[in-house]
Amino acid sequence: MRMTCTCHIVPKDILERLAGDKKLSTELRRAARDSARLSDGLRNLRSQAAELTQLAQATGAHLVELAPSPKVTVYDCKHSQTLPGTPVPGAKTSRDATAKRCFAETTQVAKFFKSVFGRNSIDDAGMTMMSSVHFGKNYNNAMWNGTQMVYGDGDGKLFVDFTQGDDVIGHELTHGVTQHSLQLAYSGDAGGLNESLSDCFGSMFRQWSAKQDVTQADWLIGADIMGPTAKSRGFKALRNMAKPDDKAALAPQPTKYSQITAGMDPHYSSGPPNLAFCTACVTLGGHSWEKIGQVWYAALTTSGAHPKMTMPQFAARTRQLAAQKYPSQAVVAAAVDAGWKKVGL
Amino acid sequence: MQAEDRLDVERLGGFAGMGGPGARIRSTGSLHGRELSAADRGRVAALFGGAKPPDGHPGAADGFRYRLTLHRDGASPAVVEVPEAAVPGPVRDCVHDELT
């Protein structure tokens, strides 16, 4: 069971103050008191939902398969920030290009995870893949809110419609996969790994869609959502996995693990593990998803819940898995090793 | 929050990692209390009064955070950082994204 909270809730201390305000009617004071108690209840439910997910993962108790393949749904927020918005009927053939594209790419990501990794949707049990488009006004962002994807239209200057980036869609969906597997926290080393895994699988999805090998891939994140103002200033993407400190990236990143410090935004600390993955793929050659991608997927999905995993631990896990999965192909483990050594791990 | 107080707003994080070291997008804005409704001034005041913002969903990622700095005559600036869901719409809307 998942509890969502994307609406603003009146802070509990305000409700309690209102409940004790003798100037208000008895009915209003009772309503405020009951709301405060409900707020506590909802918070407890959310904490318990998180604990239940972790317990289920730890005990290996897997959800009963909900569906053999996931349903894909699209909602229209109509430029509000109320989720999920109104359903877009027949999104597959919608006249709304954003909704249609969102449906198509999300469906493709589901096919990517199924055909390449054998995974049935975000939770590996066929859960519905739900997206909301036209979120907010000129909203320069896309996100995973814990239960669904959310896409803004961009301001048309720095960014265009975020659904135009197939790597963006792959990135956001992978956050859901991480939530249902490794359960990485969103701070510290774990946060950087969380973000990196989304960039890695987002990039792999983009390469798979275009049938590119590692030499044909651009290894850029967000190249297709750059707006005219960003492009005119020479920016080509948000991030560059092959060269994290690229000055043509809107958000250049560190290239060595030693450069990561406490409190860093996960989109910044993802630089070194991104470079490690890219280096491993380029070192081995071929298609990124065929061997190195399989190692990364195994690290993501067979390590149990590890919310505070460090980058050295993740690196060790991928080295171990590369040797286990490809015992007669030492070049795979060597490529993974080269990737991590590149970033100082 | 009073009508004459000034609120500086910075939007952080998101898919683009706004506000990070080296990031080329800065997302800032500013407004005075008089530009907000009484209800929204109350919501902002609650954030600076230690009210706990709504919990983010476990596993959520790429959301925005807002760093709010409240300037009041005769007092040191107060700073809080909260998730987007806790920020009133007019405060969010005062922010503009720019290339640095």
Residue range A316-337, pLDDT digits in tens:
999 999 999 999 999 999 999 9
Residue A245: C-alpha distances to residues A25, A201, A252, A314, B12 (Å): 61, 20, 5, 22, 20
Please give, rounded to a whole number of angstroms, the shortest distance from the CA of B100 to a CA of chain A: 10
So what's the pLDDT on residue A175? 98
Residue range A227-278, pLDDT digits in tens:
999 999 999 999 999 999 999 999 999 999 999 999 899 999 999 999 999 9
Ramachandran assignment for B76, one of left (phi > 0), alpha (psi -120 to 50 degrees), beta (any other): beta
Letter for the amino acid at B95? Answer: V
Would the pLDDT of A31 be above 80? Answer: no
Would the pLDDT of A167 be above 90? Answer: yes
A–B: how many Cβ contacts below 8 A? 143
Percentage of chain B beyond pLDDT 90 is 79
Cβ atoms A297, A289 nearer than 8 A: no
Predicted TM-score of the model (pTM) = 0.86
Strands (E), A245-295: none
Would the pLDDT of A43 be above 90? Answer: no
Cross-chain Cβ contact A81/B89 below 8 Å:
yes
Would the pLDDT of A3 be above 50? Answer: no
- Chain B residues in contact with A5 (beta carbon < 8 A): 54-57, 85
A51 noted as active-site residue: no
Cross-chain Cβ contact A172/B59 below 8 Å:
no
Nearest chain B residue to A191 by CA: give it. Answer: B61
| Residue from A313, A314, A278, A312 nearest A293 by CA | A278
So what's the pLDDT on residue A49? 54
| CA pair distance A115, A239, nearest whole angstrom | 27
Strand A220-221 to B6-13 pairing: unpaired
A267 noted as active-site residue: yes
Choose among B49, B50, B55: nearest Cβ to A46. B55
- Whether A159 and chain B come into contact, CB under 8 Å, resolves to yes
Residue range A96-123, pLDDT digits in tens:
999 999 999 999 999 999 999 999 999 9
Interfacial A residues in 210-239 facing B (CB < 8 Å):
222, 229-230, 233, 235, 238
Please give, rounded to a whole number of angstroms, the shortest distance from the CA of B3 to a CA of chain A: 20
Tokens describing residue A214: 């590692």
Give kind and range of the element (H or E) at residue B80. strand B78-83
Across B82-94, b (16+ Cβ under 10 Å) vs e yields bbbbbbbeebbeb
Instruction: Kindly list the structural domains of chain A, giving each domain's residue range(s) and its CATH number in brackets, ordered by start.
Output: 12-59 (no CATH), 72-164 (3.10.170.10), 188-342 (1.10.390.10)
